Amino acid sequence: MSELLRIENLSAGYGEAVVLHDVAFTLGEGQTLALLGRNGTGKTTLINTLAGATRQHGGSIALSGLALHKLAPHQRAAAGIGWVPQERNIFKSLTVHENLTAVERPGKWNPQRVYEMFPRLAERKTNLGTQLSGGEQQMLAVGRALVLNPKLLLLDEPLEGLAPIIVEELLRAIRRITQDEGLAAIIVEQHPQAILAISDEAVVLDHGTIVHTDKAAVLRTQPEVLDRLLGVAR
């Protein structure tokens, strides 16, 4: 398996405040990484740093050999980063279809494929972003990242605050995107078992440093380790 992402000695944060300390790991093409940790341990900062939305103090990030840490956020998107932040950041004054076509890049993912994956969006393609439910906005945020045709998808708590039926729908979609379509992803989530079930690798952060790495399938069968690291065994 070819290496897609390499992070070495990464330190980053906001302004002069350093949140991440000496973070290092690799991810292969087509692999999914579950990024776990208690609240405030640096998970979102790591996702934001990969997308170029923090101040990097040291270390390097390489995507397919390209020095990602030297690029501006829009250049990282062009290089292959698809980012779905917690805030979703959809264009609320545009329709669903306009949201997708405004950022679309050539590739196998296009608005029609997004509609096939999320029929709710197809039914609401002329609705403005402000007219969507929270779950529909999250689907649109994922769809917008997909039509960039990225090499790596970054999902920051994609299931947060959503109704159980929407959570199941999104999990099925994420499984299809990653396992069936082979798109590499890093997923931050507060519900470890749900994400470990669809991930290949797992990294646990604490106080901005990596404190545990393992195969996702192995960590999923170790509730005592999950309880010690995250305070939640289920």
Domain ranges of the chain: 1-79+191-234
Residue 233's pLDDT band, with cuts at 50, 70 and 90, is very low
Q: Single out the residue of 76, 103, 74 nearest to residue 90, CA to CA.
A: 103
Tell me the Cα Rg of the chain. Answer: 17
Burial class (CB in 10 A: 0-12, 13-18, 19+), 65: exposed
Identify the H or E element spanning 27: strand 17-28
Tens digits of per-residue pLDDT, 150-209? 999 999 999 999 999 999 999 999 999 999 999 999 999 888 999 999 999 999 999 999
pLDDT in tens, 71-107: 999 999 999 999 999 999 999 999 999 999 999 999 9
Q: Give me the pLDDT at residue 231, please.
A: 79
pLDDT for 234: 44
CATH assignment of 1-79+191-234, among 3.50.30.30, 2.40.50.140, 3.90.550.10, 3.40.50.300: 3.40.50.300
pTM of the model as a whole:
0.95
- Quick one: pLDDT band at residue 140, thresholds 50, 70, 90? very high
What is the DSSP pairing of strand 201-206 with strand 209-215?
A: antiparallel
Q: Distance between CA atoms of 92 and 46, rounded to whole angstroms?
A: 26
